[in-house]
Amino acid sequence: MTKYQAIACGLHSQYELVIMYKKSLLLQWKTKDNIKHKESIKPIDLVTHNHAEFLIIEHADGRQEKVQLDHILSFNLNP
């Protein structure tokens, strides 16, 4: 597993605002196995675990997942 690379404070604040206003996102991220995903999700919370930060997301089917913040490639607000 690669070492966590902290993200910019401004980007972290954007995630917090999206969570606070309960907006959905079109999120693109990669897994630790370098598999890329692009999906419309609902961001739930930000958490820290083992010196890394994660976005808890909810998929359309209700399943939740932790995405490491430095693995997020892009995000856009859904209309």
Three-class DSSP labels, the chain: CCCCCCCCHHHHHHHHHHHHCCCCEEEEEECCCCCEEEEEEEEEEEEEECCEEEEEEECCCCCEEEEEHHHEEEEEECC
User: 9-77 belongs to which CATH class?
Assistant: mainly beta
pLDDT band at 79 (very low <50, low <70, confident <90, very high): confident
pTM assigned to the model? 0.92
- For residues 55-61, give the mean pLDDT: 97
Euclidean distance between CA atoms 16 and 20, whole angstroms? 6
Position 16 pLDDT exceeds 90: yes
Euclidean distance between CA atoms 3 and 61, whole angstroms? 31
Position 1 pLDDT exceeds 60: no
Give percent above pLDDT 70 in the chain.
97
- For residues 14-23, give the mean pLDDT: 96
